[in-house]
Amino acid sequence: MQDSGQISTAISVAFPLALPQIRLMFARLVALLIIIFARLITAVRAIWLGSDPVPEQRVYFANHASNGDFVLIWSVLPGKLRNKTRPVAAADYWLTTKLKTFIGRSVFNAVLIDRNPETRAGDPVQQMADALQAGDSLILFPEGTRNMTQTPLLPFKTGLFHLAKQRPDIDLVPVWIENLNRVMPKGKLIPIPLVCTITFGQPMRVQQDETKADFLERAQSTLLALSETARE
Amino acid sequence: MADSFLFLLGCVLAVLVVATGIGRYLVFKSGPDGPSLTVDNLNARINAWWAMVALTALAFLAGKTGVVVLFAICSFAALREFLTLTNIEIADHWAIAAAAFLVLPVQFIAVGMNWYGFYSIFIPVYAFLLMPIFSMFSGETDNFLVRIAEAQWALMISVFCVSHVPALLSLDIPGFEGRNLFLIFFLVVVVQSSDVFQYVWGKLLGKHKIAPKVSPSKTWEGLIGGVATASALGASLYWITPFTVLQAIGMSVVITIMGFLGGLVMSAIKRDRGVKDWGHLIAGHGGFIDRLDSVIFSAPIFFHIVRFYWDVH
């Protein structure tokens, strides 16, 4: 007993991050620094059109063009909401290096799902539903990958529909992120300073007898319409 | 120096207190529907002025470094707003990153070092030639001239021009040693008060539009009233400058007219790009460029006139 205590003390002195509390504090600090940096680069502003920043459980679904997307959504959410809002991100991206794992797991507290159906162990929709069950809100990018095309939105993956079917009681809030794709395009390490806006639209829910195709079509056009309002 | 500074700060605070009082009175007097949008905006502007005055006073207290850092931050915010409205593409990413994180700090460091020979040509010569080279290497030729011209304009307006405010500290004027901060005070107070007076005179008497297509709110009455009032204020400040009363009036007329025209040019750009304000960070005013546009156009001219006639070089 004594030995193992000494060993763990020795470990925590040598690697303070091995201690969960210190790891958590450090993760919080990193999160704060990332948010300050994101605000410095983008002067991001939230526009609430049709929904309010209130502590309600929600699924935010947004366009995806940059790795900074959920950082930006996160940084405009009031602190109380932020701590209860988890991004859904790709395990096959965020678990590749130690640094990314630390940021994905500890800093962003992401729900990490494996995008590859061949290799994955769990059902991603179930993972998201579990997070909702635990009382957290989610940030979801239904395009499934960063949009590098000229079109404003890629076709949505089906996860949003299945999640909405499982939890029809939870509001789905469309979120349009404007300009971040220019701040930090895929493959660029240094961001450039440009003003960004995050527009939160009117919440939607899946209707009783709505088909998958109809629902996804409606969700996409809602987000597209929001992007046009946001630009005006 | 310290006495004069405190006296001037006291004057500015007194003006703000009076303005705040008037703003509150207008709210108090407004009917059951609450104050009009104009009154709301007026109060937002006055509140923002408190913050701007507080920050500027702090920077002045911190001396030269404080002022250089303050204007470097303003410059960064202005550059961020300007770039947002340009057509820059992924192909220009490295050129723009270099502009924001290399050119901008180097320019302000050179200003802080009093290195006139460098900061006066760094952006018009070196950045001007090197940035298109960066963009050219990307191989993207669509819109090339538009992109590189916009990037250079962004740097000239947001960095080069803004840096001429703290550059006033590097002027060497015999008999005026250690008092250069007052040149900045004179420039900023005269130009900004001219904006305020133009707004007030325009609201009171404004009839004849100067440039209805560019900025419908700008009138001859506002301009003449604003320039005259601000120049009178400038004349009353002659004792903190190296100027005589007449020179102070002449300087005030030049910088307020440059400021006015600068505001119009920046409005034309906003109109071209279909926006009302450059940004949203200064409540009631819009963005940093909305507040700084007149200073941006007057600072380099003011700097060079003072340098030409008063500086030993």
Convert the pLDDT of each residue in B3-49 to its tens digit.
888 999 999 999 999 999 999 999 888 877 777 888 888 899 999 99
Is the pLDDT confidence value at B146 over 50?
yes
One domain, residues B249 and B177: yes
Instruction: State how far the Cα of B291 lies from the Cα of B55, in Å rounded to an integer.
Output: 15
Q: Same domain, yes or no, for B55 and B78?
A: no
The rounded distance, in Å, linking the Cα atoms of B149 and B143 is: 10
Assigned token pair, B285: 């005013």
Say what the pLDDT of residue B76 is: 98
Is the same domain home to B31 and B99? no
Asked, for residue B166, whether it belongs to a domain, the answer is: no
Please tell me the predicted confidence (pLDDT) of residue A122: 81
Same domain, B54 and B149: no
Residues from chain A that touch B79, judged by Cβ atoms under 8 A, are 193
pLDDT on residue B280: 87
Q: CA A72 to CA A2: how far, in whole Å?
A: 47
pLDDT tens-digit readout, A218-230: 999 999 999 988 7
Residue A211 · residue A99 · CB < 8 Å: no
| Any domain includes B45 | yes
B136 and B32 in a single domain? The answer is no
pLDDT at A188: 85
Q: Does residue B242 share a domain with residue B182?
A: yes
What is the three-class DSSP state of A60?
strand
Least confident of A118-127, B80-89, B90-99: A118-127
The answer to whether A192 contacts B100, with C-beta atoms less than 8 Å apart, is yes
Mutate to test the interface with B, among A41, A194, A196 (most CBs of B within 10 A): A194
| Shared domain check, B222 and B130 | no
Q: What percent of chain A has pLDDT over 90?
A: 58
Q: Which residues contact B191 (CB under 8 A, 6 or more apart)?
A: B230, B255, B256, B259, B294, B295, B298
On average, the pLDDT of chain B sits at: 94
Contact B101 A190 (CB under 8 A): yes
Q: How far is A187 from chain B (nearest CA, A)?
A: 10
pLDDT over threshold 70, residue B160: yes
Count of domains for chain B: 3
Q: How confident is the model at residue B200 (pLDDT cuts 50, 70, 90)?
A: very high
Residue B105, domain member (yes or no):
yes
Residue B128 falls within a domain, yes or no? yes
- pLDDT at position A2 over 90: no
Instruction: Give the pLDDT confidence of A136-153 residue by residue, as tens digits.
Output: 999 999 998 888 888 899
**A7 pLDDT tier (thresholds 50, 70, 90):** low
Say if CB A132 and CB A112 are below 8 A apart.
no
Please tell me whether residues B4 and B95 are part of one structural domain: no
Can you tell me the mean pLDDT for A193-210? 94
For A47, the 3-state DSSP assignment is strand
How confident is the model at residue A1, as a pLDDT? 45
d(CA B142, CA B192): 40
B88 touches A at CB < 8 Å: yes
Question: pTM, whole model, 2 decimals?
Answer: 0.91
Among the three residues B38, B61, B84, which one is the final residue of a domain in this structure?
Answer: B61
Please, which pLDDT band fits residue B158 given cuts at 50, 70 and 90?
very high
Residue B164 belongs to a domain: no
Distance CA B276, CA B266 (A): 11
Test B100 with A193 for CB contact under 8 angstroms: yes
Same domain? For B154 and B181 the reply is no
Residues B201 and B127 grouped into a single domain? no
**pLDDT beyond 80 at A4:** no
Residues 6+ apart with CB under 8 A from B236: none
CB B207 within 8 A of CB B229: no
| B163 within some domain | no
Contact call for residues B38 and B215 (beta carbons, < 8 A): no
Over 70: is that where the pLDDT of A5 sits? Answer: no
b/e burial code for range B296-308 (CB count within 10 A of at least 16 → b): bbbbbbbbeebbe
B76 touches A: beta carbon within 8 Å: yes
pLDDT for residue A50: 86
- How do the residues of chain A divide into helix, strand and coil, expressed in percent and rounded to 5? 45, 15, 40
Grade residue A110 by pLDDT with cuts at 50, 70 and 90: very high
Task: Name the percent of chain B lying above pLDDT 90.
Answer: 85
**B61, B83, B111 - which closes a domain:** B61
pLDDT, average across residues B201-224: 93
Residue A141 makes CB contacts below 8 A (sequence gap 6+) with A61, A62, A63, A64, A69, A70, A88
Is B237 among the domain residues?
yes
Q: Which domain holds residue B30?
A: 1-61
Identify whether B111 is part of a domain.
Answer: yes
pLDDT for res B56: 94
Position A14 scores a pLDDT of 61
Q: Which residues of B touch A188 (CB under 8 A)?
A: 90, 93
> Across the interface, do A192 and B96 touch by the CB < 8 Å criterion?
yes
**Among residues A160, A158, A196, A194, which one has the least CA distance to residue A176?**
A196
Enter the ipTM: 0.89
* B187 and B308 both lie in a single domain: yes
SS3 A198: strand
Is residue B240 very low, low, confident or very high in pLDDT (cuts 50, 70, 90)?
Answer: very high
**pLDDT for the residue A195:** 94
Q: What percent of chain B shows pLDDT beyond 70?
A: 100
Host H or E run for residue A86: strand A85-90
Nearest residue of A to residue B84 by CA position? Answer: A194
Given a cut of 80, whether residue B57 has pLDDT beyond it is yes
Per residue in B255-272, pLDDT (tens digit) is 999 999 999 999 999 999
What is the pLDDT at residue A6?
65
Kindly state the DSSP code that residue B92 receives in the 8-state scheme.
G
pLDDT of residue A115: 84
Q: Average pLDDT of chain A?
A: 89
C-alpha span between B71 and B40 (Å, rounded): 28
Instruction: State which of B158, B188, B211 marks the end of a domain.
Output: B158
The nearest alpha carbon in chain B to A41 belongs to B80
